[in-house]
Amino acid sequence: MNILIKNIGHLYSPDVNGDYGDITNRENVAISIKDGYIEKIHPERNPSLDTVNRVIDAKGLTVLPGFVDAHTHPVFWKTREAEFVMRNQGKSYEEIAATGGGIRNSARSFHEAGKSEIKSITKNRIKTFLEYGTTTIEAKSGYGLSREGEIKALEIISELNNEQELEMVPTFLGAHEVPDDYRSRREKYIQLIIEEMLPEIAERKLAEYCDVFCEKGVFTIEETRKILKVAKDYGLKARIHADELHAFGAAELAAEIEAATADHLVMVSDKGIKAMAEKKVIPVLLPATTFFLRKDQYAPARKILSYNCEVALATDFNPGSSMTQNMPLIWTIAALKLGMVTGELLWATTIIPAKSLMREKEIGSIDVGKQADLVLMDIPNLDYLAYHMGINHVMATIKKGETVFKKEDR
């Protein structure tokens, strides 16, 4: 199958041969796609080719690589707008969690619904990623908090990978919270994760990564280290919810165990940043979460970048602390609150998250030989994307050469 995308006004990609933040900007070009992969970038708008099966006319639109969202929690049942309202009236995320709300609230509702119900609502929700230009996500379990519940979540991710076009990389997050019936015997829950969940998940290849919410009042540094070491023995690489609400030493732990990523990092110490830089742990910043939780202090992105860490940005899509699939909105918040500039925003949402998922050879930039994961946007230049906030500029999304979303012409 040969596809030609003609009449591209601007084509922006991270310049993978340059430094972090360097962009290639080609104007008036076309792209040939063969069997889902980029075959050639033509230096003209309308090359004459004989072997084209299908032509897509970009009509002067801007083309970017599909976004890669390296931190999401898409498999949940009920939404939690009541907690959002409570926070807006002055209750904090931690107070709501301590009284049985938060993640435990989601875990209770997760057990009320059957697998097919949760699967169908998840399928609906993840369509929105494609509509906003995201073509690959990392998808965590973490609302089951029991052997059956966690397996159910990971099976849903695995089945949906075959039944719709968004690509999902599965992460096991059984250690998202200590569930209700283990509050007075938490070590038993950790034992359950280590002795029952991890072996089955590894055996059935239901996850590539293992994550832990390492936070005061949730899982300690020692517990996190223990879980992630066992996960590593089973072939699952580590990601950590690290130093979000307190400076906890979780970034240092991520470096010590050579985790793929440390995520959140709002309260990260200088020592933690230095350790991550040395061990090339990828910091995944989630500024929509800070915004949604009404916090004033954001992750120290400029400081982290000054240590030459390759920063990624993600939505953290989840029902509690960040209810959005919209990556361009993350561009806006990161520009305003993290002081990141356009080239950095592009790298942080394409090639670096791809690298954090070990897929940088296949996705994350527009280069010959890579998967044709592309977004066609109605924007005049790349600075415009963060600037015209909250609007969906995506006209079409293409995954492996297939058009998976198309906005009707206005």
DSSP state letters, 291-337: HHTT-SPPP-HHHHHHTT---EE---BBTTTB----HHHHHHHHHHH
The only residue of 316, 344, 373, 378 in contact with Fe ion, by rule CB under 5 A: 316
Q: Please identify, among the stretches 32-40, 127-135, 317-325, 390-398, the one whose residues bind ligand NIG according to the rule CB under 6 A.
A: 317-325
Which residue type, as a one-letter code, is found at position 248?
F
**Going by DSSP bridges, is the β-strand pair 394-399/402-406 parallel, antiparallel, or unpaired?**
antiparallel
**Closest separation in Å from C-beta 211 to Fe ion:** 8
**CA separation for the pair 96, 89 (Å, rounded):** 12
Which residue is associated with the tokens 């992969």? Answer: 37
Which residue type, as a one-letter code, is found at position 354?
A
**CA separation for the pair 86, 337 (Å, rounded):** 24
154 is an interface residue for ligand NIG by CB under 6 A: no
- Give how far Cα 66 sits from Cα of 63, 104, 123, 367, Å: 9, 33, 19, 13
Q: Please identify, among the stretches 47-55, 298-306, 319-327, 338-346, the one whose residues bind ligand NIG according to the rule CB under 6 A.
A: 319-327
Q: Please identify, among the stretches 101-109, 112-120, 163-171, 302-310, the one whose residues bind ligand NIG according to the rule CB under 6 A.
A: 101-109
| Interface with ligand NIG: number of residues (CB under 6 A) | 13
Q: 243 or 378, CB closer to ligand NIG? A: 243
3-class DSSP state of 80: coil
Q: Which three-class secondary structure string do you get for 345-371?
A: HHHHCCHHHHHHCCCCCCCCCCCCCCE
3-class DSSP state of 162: helix
224 is an interface residue for ligand NIG by CB under 6 A: no
**CA separation for the pair 212, 235 (Å, rounded):** 16
Which residue type, as a one-letter code, is found at position 346?
L
**Closest separation in Å from C-beta 321 to Fe ion:** 7
Q: 215 or 373, CB closer to ligand NIG? A: 215
Q: Residue 63 class from Cβ within 10 Å (0-12 exposed, 13-18 middle, 19+ buried)?
A: buried
Residues 322-381 that bind ligand NIG (CB under 6 A): none
Q: 29 or 266, CB closer to Fe ion? A: 266
Closest CA to 374 of 408, 397, 351: 397
87 is an interface residue for ligand NIG by CB under 6 A: no
213 is an interface residue for ligand NIG by CB under 6 A: yes
Neighbouring C-beta atoms of residue 380, cutoff 10 Å:
12
321 is an interface residue for ligand NIG by CB under 6 A: yes
338 Cβ partners below 8 Å, 6+ apart? 285, 287, 298, 299, 301, 302
Residue number of the CB closest to ligand NIG reads 320
Q: Please identify, among the stretches 51-59, 196-204, 226-234, 313-321, the one whose residues bind ligand NIG according to the rule CB under 6 A.
A: 313-321
Q: Output phi, psi for 88, to 5 deg.
A: -70, -15
The only residue of 30, 41, 70, 103 in contact with ligand NIG, by rule CB under 6 A: 103
**Going by DSSP bridges, is the β-strand pair 23-34/167-175 parallel, antiparallel, or unpaired?**
unpaired
316 is an interface residue for ligand NIG by CB under 6 A: yes
Q: 106 or 146, CB closer to ligand NIG? A: 106
289 is an interface residue for ligand NIG by CB under 6 A: yes
152 binds, among ligand NIG, Fe ion, none (CB under 5 to 8 A by kind): none
171 is an interface residue for ligand NIG by CB under 6 A: no
The only residue of 134, 136, 318, 371 in contact with ligand NIG, by rule CB under 6 A: 318
289 binds, among Fe ion, ligand NIG, none (CB under 5 to 8 A by kind): ligand NIG
319 is an interface residue for ligand NIG by CB under 6 A: yes
Q: Please identify, among the stretches 266-274, 313-321, 325-333, 395-403, the one whose residues bind Fe ion according to the rule CB under 5 A.
A: 313-321
**Closest separation in Å from C-beta 324 to Fe ion:** 13
Q: Which residues bind Fe ion (CB under 5 A)?
A: 316
Q: Which residues bind ligand NIG (CB under 6 A)?
A: 73, 102-103, 106, 213, 241, 244, 289, 316, 318-321
